[in-house]
Chain A
């Protein structure tokens, strides 16, 4: 089945540690996105990538880093510089740019908690 897989579903991090959230898609989509969702709030864009080996900062990129070495994979690293990392993280993909009429497909999300 085609889709987006995020892992792990739940993640606990000690303060000062870096953690990496995995996102893999087999939809052959060019564009991939990372969003952060805080309780009772909407989604805020962290990073996005339109093609392999290229990515751009979103609205709240500080304290996060990404890579896009393969079309299928777009891992997100939450660094120790992120002051308030506890949140729900959603990865998404879509066909790509120049396609305003295509929806984004989402993974199941990763809930990160700092302990």
Chain B
């Protein structure tokens, strides 16, 4: 079974609007971490935001926030006030506390910001 599912291959958003990128996950661990990364066309992976499974508050980092719904096993990324530079691939990832502690990635969502 897929540990991370991103169902939106591509998304469009108007500049200055907000956009939500979906992510659902599957784990039997009680302790885990959820991450979002941005990959511009240059290829490097840029860490954006982290949410721990025990965190009660939704994580926020500047214009990025993570809508964490534990019961639904979802960890959606919200980007507010979109900018042209936000156009990129976005990946959701999860690290489990048990086992080998590896980082599992989804297939990504390509976001295009329209001027």
Interface residues of A (CB under 8 A from B): 31, 33, 35, 40-45, 48, 50, 56, 58, 88, 90, 92, 94, 96-109, 111
Contact = CB atoms under 8 A, between A and B. Distances in A.
Contacts of A101: 33, 50, 52
Contacts, number: 69
B66 to A, nearest CB: 13
A90 B45 contact: yes
Given A43-B105, A101-B50, A103-B50, A56 B100 contact: yes
Contacts of B6: 42
B101 A50 contact: yes
Contact of A100 (B32, B43, B107): B32
A101 B96 CA distance: 9
Contacts of A103: 35, 47, 50
A58 B102 contact: yes
Contacts of B52: 100-101
8 smallest CB-CB distances across A and B, nearest first, come from A106-B45, A42-B107, A97-B101, A43-B105, A100-B97, A109-B43, A100-B33, A103-B47
B58 interface: no
Nearest to A98: B101
Contact of B45 (A58, A92, A94): A92
Given A88-B43, A101-B50, A101-B52, 5 more contacts: A42-B105, A45-B103, A103-B35, A106-B44, A109-B44
A92 B108 contact: no
Given A100-B101, A103-B50, A42 B44 contact: no
Question: By CB atoms of chain B within 10 A, which of A41, A45, A97, A101 has the most?
Answer: A101
Contacts of B31: 100
